[in-house]
Chain A
Amino acid sequence: MPEPVIPITPWLQHLKDHVPVAREGSDPEGVHQLRVATRRLDAWLVLAQMNILRDDLRWLRRRASAVRDLDVLLLEIKPPAPLSDWLQGLHDTARRELLVALEHPRYYGLITALEGLPPMAGSSARLVLPTVVRQVLRRGKAVENAHQDLQKLHRLRRGARRLRYCLEWLGMNTKPLKAVQRVLGEANDIAMTLRYLNQSPHRDSLSDYRINLENQLVKLAARSAEVWAASRASFEGLA
């Protein structure tokens, strides 16, 4: 019986399908799915123990993230004017930079290179999983020791996301991680809003809004630590 293999094809196709939508720009889902695909593809490279191409994916993802983060702010969080007007200006710049990236020889090089990768063996991919799990557990421990530390929460969020995508590639249960990711994602959205507000020229004129965000963030950080503690045990056995 041939050994099961895991082709990179599904998420590579997902990326290619959404690039035209991202380029066209009227549906924010295009950029969102483009970014989602780069993360899944990065998880595949982690499982395949490949370092090459990860910088290219990061390069593309940063440009997509600059647009997507501002989409989330403007369409979901909906900050008040004049902050929203200032953010719209940043969004327009980020979008122009993404369009340049999607025509760059590096983008076409990345796609061509990913298309050429042979499927990875499922058995060798599973051997990598404990390393990814242990990294998340370490980051979780750091949050437990200092759950109000936003940097540590941010690192846990990214690690948990990578683990979830690795588990998806391996066809394993991701439900507990989805709950962790959801609450950490909410905290991150508020932290991101605060970060933009503090960089903007409107920081002082929107002090009530800022205080409200800071209070939300404190609650979400505490909630994140609780959800993490409740779900940790469900994948400790994978380490």
Chain B
Amino acid sequence: MDLYLIRHAKAAPRSPELEDALRPLTPEGKRAFAIAVEGMARLGLTFDRLYHSPWLRAVETAELLIPLVHGETVSTMHLADDPSSALLRELSGQRVALVGHEPWTSELVGWLIHGDRAAGDGFCIKKGGMVWLEGKPAPGQMVLRAFLPPKVLRALSRPGNDDDNTE
């Protein structure tokens, strides 16, 4: 399986007036991630299944990925929680995207590569960034293929133009 773990794009800041799960993407977050998706498209990425957290910022990020999805999308509570065996059992497909949150996404990366969730501390996925893993989706059974910060994904959308400093 090729597994693409994506952190949601830039969202409204935490606030006492807004429940964490209801924080939307900012207009700039949407714009920047739409460009990152163009970069993914230029890499030839497509997904035959996309799993996402049900929290609003992940739902909105997943919506922006729809042009790359050639199969089903799945909303799952498992991506709004610590990485679990139940999540791994749920995964199916050959080219699978996950849209989730930190620190869980990094912990999942550490767990899948090293068999240790704490190893996720070594991976800092920025908002709108992506990690590409390959192998069997089981602890310690995947290898890192690429670590793509959002700035790199956006630059990929315009080959030859690397002056995009939007963050």
Chain A residues lying within 8 Å of B72, measured Cβ to Cβ, are: 55, 59
Asked if B76 and A50 sit within 8 Å, CB to CB, the answer is no
A171 at the interface (CB under 8 A from B): no
Given A112-B21, A116-B56, do A105 and B62 touch, yes or no (CB 8 Å)?
Answer: no
Q: Scoring B residues 66 to 95 as 1 if CB is less than 8 Å from chain A, else 0, what string do you get?
A: 100000111111111000001000100000
Q: Scoring A residues 101 to 142 as 1 if CB is less than 8 Å from chain B, else 0, what string do you get?
A: 000011011111100111000000000000000000000000
Chain A interface extent, by class: 10 to 19
Task: Give bound CA distance, A56 to B76, whole Å.
Answer: 10
Task: Give bound CA distance, A71 to B161, whole Å.
Answer: 61
Task: Give bound CA distance, A53 to B58, whole Å.
Answer: 12
Task: Give bound CA distance, A92 to B22, whole Å.
Answer: 38
Given A55-B74, A56-B73, do A112 and B54 touch, yes or no (CB 8 Å)?
Answer: yes
B63 at the interface (CB under 8 A from A): yes
> How far, in Å, is B34 (CB) from chain A's closest CB?
14
Task: Give bound CA distance, A113 to B56, whole Å.
Answer: 6
Chain A residues lying within 8 Å of B90, measured Cβ to Cβ, are: 105
Asked if A55 and B73 sit within 8 Å, CB to CB, the answer is yes
Chain A residues lying within 8 Å of B75, measured Cβ to Cβ, are: 52-53, 56, 106, 109-110, 112-113
A199 at the interface (CB under 8 A from B): no
Chain B interface extent, by class: 20 to 34
Chain B residues lying within 8 Å of A111, measured Cβ to Cβ, are: 54
Chain A residues lying within 8 Å of B79, measured Cβ to Cβ, are: 109
Asked if A51 and B66 sit within 8 Å, CB to CB, the answer is yes
Chain A residues touching B, majority SS: helix
> How far, in Å, is A207 (CB) from chain B's closest CB?
40
B24 at the interface (CB under 8 A from A): yes
Given A53-B73, A116-B59, do A109 and B66 touch, yes or no (CB 8 Å)?
Answer: no
Given A113-B54, A116-B21, do A106 and B74 touch, yes or no (CB 8 Å)?
Answer: yes
B154 at the interface (CB under 8 A from A): no
Task: Give bound CA distance, A167 to B68, whole Å.
Answer: 31
Residues 52 to 66 of chain A near chain B (Cβ within 8 Å): 52-56, 59
B33 at the interface (CB under 8 A from A): no
Nearest residue (CB) in A for B49 is: A55
Asked if B63 and A51 sit within 8 Å, CB to CB, the answer is yes
Nearest residue (CB) in B for A114 is: B54
Chain B residues lying within 8 Å of A117, measured Cβ to Cβ, are: 56, 59
B111 at the interface (CB under 8 A from A): no
Our pick among B24, B55, B62, B63 for the contact of A112 (Cβ within 8 Å) is B55
B52 at the interface (CB under 8 A from A): yes
Residues on B facing A (Cβ under 8 Å): 21-22, 24, 52-56, 59, 62-63, 66, 72-80, 86, 90
List 14 additional contacts besides A56-B75, A105-B77, A106-B74; criterion CB under 8 Å: A51-B66, A52-B63, A52-B73, A53-B73, A59-B72, A105-B86, A108-B54, A109-B77, A112-B54, A112-B75, A113-B54, A113-B59, A116-B55, A117-B59
Residues on A facing B (Cβ under 8 Å): 50-56, 59, 105-106, 108-113, 116-118
